[in-house]
A = this chain, B = another copy of it.
């Protein structure tokens, strides 16, 4: 933590520094004047990235080389090719494997376009997407971010809590509702249970569920069954759940609610950032630069968490998606060869939209004992273009003014004779800024984070693409469930720790 005194922002922050320290690429401006870095630090951080072969690893990833693995031990042993889900805009494919993945993705896209035309006349008003984790968080975040373009109502059913299904069923007319059931394995406990609940609800209204439920799943999974589903869209083992938003996991809902053209625009935006991650050098490689700043703050300055604060109500659900994407990817304790790490990985990511956060946890950001680096996101224009001038400024201008003011306030602080009015300042942040949040911009923002997270993992030398850490909970939950069944059947409960709880509830 000794490095946390490096560079005193209240001393160095000037008009010139802010104007100078900004990188532009693919429609984004990345303001980093309020980070605790100088040219030397940035140079050395990029040297670290080179040393760890970060750019090389990104290229190999996008080419489809195996990078979801632990070398020398049984592991997933897979390619990581979510970039191929949107790699059909301009350039030639870098490899046979990526070419093949692209071809399959395009087929699904075309299938979707045809399907959407076919169901148009059925007049569906609502869609319920069943899915949990990556099958919910990303699709939900991107749908909500673009809901200003939506002509339908979309509901996300994820929790195995039966109240989740009940509360959604209260809101829809099932005869006009399309259901999209998403599970790569076709065996996800929560999603399977929720699909069964919806099937029962359809039957109670004498509606044939098959005519209303679409599957998104892996080829050959138990859900790849035309006798049970209106249609089936495919995903593949080289697209991880948390990286699947641009595949059919997010595609069906975006296509249905916004129209296919907007889904395509979204993919194009994501693809633009894929190219940046692959081809740009230095700070122009925005995801790599973001990853390095994060590593600087976390590993060198010792800040244990990071907050993402988008000044856009449309990004309300986005932080939860990032939370999964980052923490499931990089919450790892061994390196790519299975050695236990002696440094801290995957920081805790949390946050809330501004200005709301200012009226919530910003007290701690400004005057707490623990320092939290902040990633701000902002836009010049609103989505609906409906605004009102109050006291000479529009709401959009007020929103913007608050965003800029917060980054300055955190950096410069303020001295005062009254200790309660002292702001120590010297707290780092940066701003990702773009013109407006449209499908293209959102696609590029999503890919920015996907690649930022991957770069962090490449530099820490960990496998960001598996999730072994979720297995133990599943195994023990099955044991407790066995205990619940045993209890109901008045048999002996085998799992003693589970029994202790079950006897005490």
Contacts and interface: CB of A to CB of B under 8 A. Distances in A.
B423 A472 contact: yes
Contacts of A134: 359
A480 interface: yes
A200 B366 CA distance: 36
Contact of A384 (B74, B166, B190, B345): B166
B193 A398 contact: yes
A472 B409 contact: yes
A174 interface: no
Interface string A363-387: 1111111101000000010111011
Given A70-B420, A386-B162, A466-B420, A31 B504 contact: yes
Interface string A73-97: 1110000000000000000000000
A162 to B, nearest CB: 4
Contacts of A33: 500
Interface stretch (A12-20, A213-221, A283-291): A12-20
Contacts of A503: 19
Contacts of A75: 418, 420
Interface stretch (A266-274, A323-331, A439-447): A323-331
Contacts of A412: 497
Interface in A123-173: 132-134, 136-137, 147-148, 158-167, 169
Nearest to A344: B369
A358 B473 CA distance: 8
A348 B395 contact: no
A323 to B, nearest CB: 5
A2 interface: no
Q: Is the interface of A mostly helix, strand, loop or mixed?
A: helix
A46 interface: no
Contact of A480 (B200, B305, B401): B401
A469 B366 contact: yes
Contacts of A148: 163, 166-167
A252 interface: no
Contacts of A136: 356, 359
Contacts of A499: 15
Interface in A173-216: 189-190, 192-194, 196-197, 200
Interface string A297-322: 00000001100000111100000100
Contacts of A347: 370
A31 B455 CA distance: 40
Contact of A323 (B348, B361, B401): B361
B395 A363 contact: no
A153 to B, nearest CB: 10
Interface string A458-501: 00000100111111110011111101110000000000111111
A277 to B, nearest CB: 23
B344 A196 contact: no
A313 B13 CA distance: 45
B311 A323 contact: no
A247 to B, nearest CB: 17
A240 B500 CA distance: 41
A14 B138 CA distance: 39
Contact of A369 (B190, B333, B473): B333
B331 A361 contact: yes
Contacts of A396: 161-162
Given A70-B420, A420-B468, 17 more contacts: A148-B167, A159-B354, A162-B395, A163-B383, A165-B386, A197-B395, A328-B360, A332-B368, A343-B369, A345-B368, A367-B469, A393-B484, A393-B485, A400-B484, A405-B498, A421-B471, A423-B472
Which 4 pairs show the lowest CB-CB distances between chains A and B? A331-B364, A133-B359, A166-B384, A367-B469
